[in-house]
Structure 1
Amino acid sequence: MRGMQADAAKRWFIGLWLALLAVKLVLAARLPLFVDEAFYWQEGRHLAWAYSDLPGLTAWLARVGDALGDGTLSLRLPFLAIAAAIPWLVARMTAREFDAKTGWQAGTLALLLPLAGTLGLLALPDVPLLLASALCVDAGLRLLRRVDGFATMELAIGLVIGGLTHYRFVAVIAVGFIALLMLRDGRTALRDPRVWIAVFAGALAWLPLVLWNLHNGDAGLRFQLVDRHPWSFSGEGLRLGRMQLLLATPVLLAAMALAAWQGLRDARPAARYLASCGSMIVLGFLVLGFFADRERVSFHWPLPGYLALLPLVPAALARWSRGWRIAAWATAACGLAAVLGYYTIASLPSLRAQTASRNFHPTNFAGWDALDAAVRRRLATMAPGTQLLAGNFKIGAELGFARDDAEIAVLEHPLNDKHGRAPQLALWGLSHSTRASLGGGPLLLVASGSDVDFRDLLAHYHALCGQVGPLPAPQVLNIDHGRQRFLLFAFDGPMRDGACTTPALAFIDAPAPSAKLARAFDVAGWAFKDGVGLRAVEVLLDGRVAAQARYGEANAGVADFWKNSTDPNHPQVYFRARIEGAPAGTHWLGLRLHGADGSVEDWPEQRIEVR
Structure 2
Amino acid sequence: MEMRTVFVVLWTTIVLLKLAIAARLPLFVDEAFYWLEGQHPAFAYSDLPGLTAWLIRIGTEVFGDGLLAVRLPFIAISALVPWLVVRLTAREFDPQSAWLSGCAALLLPLLGSLGVMALPDAMLALATVLCLDAGVRLLRGVTHGGALLLALGLSLGALSHYRFIAVIGVGIVALLTIAKGREALRDPRVWIAIATGAAAWIPLLVWNVDNAEAGLRFQMVDRHPWALHADGWQFIVIQAVMVTPLLFAALLIAAWRLRRAPDDAARFLAMSGGLMVLGFFALGFVADTERASFHWPLPGYLALLPLVGFVLMTWPRWLRIATWVTLALGFIGVVGYYAAVSAPEVRERSAGLKWYPSNFAGWDTLADAVREELAAMPADTVLVADNFKIGAELGFALGDPRIRVLDHPLNRHHGRAPQLQLWHLQLDDRAELAGRPVLLVTGANDVKFSALLQRYQTICARMGALPVSRVVNADRGAQRFILSRFDADAKAGAGDCVTPALAYVDTPLAGARVDAPFEVRGWAVKDGSGVASVAITLDGVPVVQAQYGAPNPWIVERFLAGDSRDPAGVNIGFSATIDPATLTPGRHWLGLEITGHDGSVERWAEQPIQVAPAR
Aligned: 1:594 with 2:591: no
* Cα pair 1:241 1:289 within 8 Å, conserved: no
Match of 1:435 among 430, 439, 448: 430
Q: Which residue of structure 1 lines up, in the alignment, with residue 464 of structure 2?
A: 469
Q: Which residue of structure 1 lines up, in the alignment, with residue 248 of structure 2?
A: 253
**Separation in 2, partners of 1:239, 1:489:** 43
Deviation of residue 241 (structure 1)?
4.9
Q: Which residue of structure 1 lines up, in the alignment, with residue 19 of structure 2?
A: 25
* Cα pair 1:522 1:579 within 8 Å, conserved: yes
Q: Which residue of structure 2 lines up, in the alignment, with residue 559 of structure 1?
A: 556
**Separation in 1, partners of 2:402, 2:235:** 36
Cα distance change, pair 191–315 in 1 and its aligned pair in 2 (3 A): same
Q: Which residue of structure 2 lines up, in the alignment, with residue 495 of structure 1?
A: 491
**3-state secondary structure, aligned to 1:247:** helix
Q: Which residue of structure 2 lines up, in the alignment, with residue 4 of structure 1?
A: none
**Separation in 2, partners of 1:93, 1:274:** 11
**3-state secondary structure, aligned to 2:262:** coil
Q: Which residue of structure 1 lines up, in the alignment, with residue 577 of structure 2?
A: 578
- Provide the identity percentage: 54
Aligned: 1:57 with 2:51: yes
Aligned: 1:540 with 2:537: yes
* Cα pair 1:465 1:500 within 8 Å, conserved: yes
Cα distance change, pair 257–372 in 1 and its aligned pair in 2 (3 A): same
Aligned: 1:421 with 2:420: no
- CA-to-aligned-CA distance 1:142-194 (integer Å, 9 cap, x gap): 11112111111111000000111111100000000001111111111111111
Q: Give the aligned residue type for 1:13.
A: F
**3-state secondary structure, aligned to 2:359:** helix
Deviation of residue 231 (structure 1)?
0.9
Match of 1:327 among 304, 322, 325: 322
Which stretch has the larger CA shift, 43-52 or 513-522? 513-522
Q: Give the aligned residue type for 1:256.
A: L
* Cα pair 2:226 2:286 within 8 Å, conserved: yes
- CA-to-aligned-CA distance 1:459-488 (integer Å, 9 cap, x gap): 111111112111112411111121211110
Q: Which residue of structure 2 lines up, in the alignment, with residue 141 of structure 1?
A: 136
**3-state secondary structure, aligned to 1:236:** helix
**3-state secondary structure, aligned to 1:308:** helix
Q: Which runs of 4+ in 1 moved over 4 A?
A: none
- CA-to-aligned-CA distance 1:266-307 (integer Å, 9 cap, x gap): 221111111111111112112212211122111110111111
Q: Which residue of structure 2 lines up, in the alignment, with residue 9 of structure 1?
A: 3
**3-state secondary structure, aligned to 1:233:** coil
* Cα pair 1:275 1:308 within 8 Å, conserved: yes
* Cα pair 2:239 2:248 within 8 Å, conserved: no
Aligned: 1:524 with 2:521: yes
**3-state secondary structure, aligned to 1:167:** coil
Aligned: 1:391 with 2:392: no
Structure 2 runs not aligned, ≥5 long: none
Q: What is the 5 A alignment of 1:498-509?
A: 498-509=495-506
- TM-score w.r.t. the length of structure 2 is 0.96
Q: Which residue of structure 1 lines up, in the alignment, with residue 508 of structure 2?
A: 511
Cα distance change, pair 481–290 in 1 and its aligned pair in 2 (3 A): farther
* Cα pair 1:163 1:169 within 8 Å, conserved: yes
Which stretch has the larger CA shift, 279-288 or 163-172? 279-288
Q: What is the 5 A alignment of 1:370-381?
A: 370-381=365-376
**Separation in 1, partners of 2:200, 2:239:** 29
- TM-score w.r.t. the length of structure 1 is 0.97
Q: Which residue of structure 1 lines up, in the alignment, with residue 201 of structure 2?
A: 206
**3-state secondary structure, aligned to 1:593:** strand
Deviation of residue 519 (structure 1)?
4.6
* Cα pair 2:536 2:590 within 8 Å, conserved: yes
Deviation of residue 583 (structure 1)?
2.4
Deviation of residue 71 (structure 1)?
0.4
Deviation of residue 93 (structure 1)?
0.1
Match of 1:315 among 306, 310, 315: 310
Structure 1 runs not aligned, ≥5 long: 1-6
**Separation in 2, partners of 1:74, 1:392:** 25
Q: Give the aligned residue type for 1:23.
A: L
**Separation in 2, partners of 1:267, 1:333:** 33
**Separation in 2, partners of 1:587, 1:237:** 41
Q: Give the aligned residue type for 1:593.
A: I
Deviation of residue 240 (structure 1)?
5.1
**Separation in 1, partners of 2:235, 2:593:** 38
Aligned: 1:48 with 2:42: yes
**Separation in 1, partners of 2:477, 2:209:** 43
* Cα pair 2:468 2:482 within 8 Å, conserved: no
**Separation in 1, partners of 2:204, 2:220:** 14
Which stretch has the larger CA shift, 99-108 or 284-293? 284-293
Deviation of residue 567 (structure 1)?
0.6
Q: How large is the Cα RMSD of the aligned pairs? A: 1.2
* Cα pair 1:41 1:66 within 8 Å, conserved: no
Deviation of residue 503 (structure 1)?
0.9
**Separation in 1, partners of 2:330, 2:422:** 42
- CA-to-aligned-CA distance 1:4-49 (integer Å, 9 cap, x gap): xxx7111000000000000100111111111111111111111111
Match of 1:287 among 279, 282, 285: 282
Q: How many residues align?
A: 605
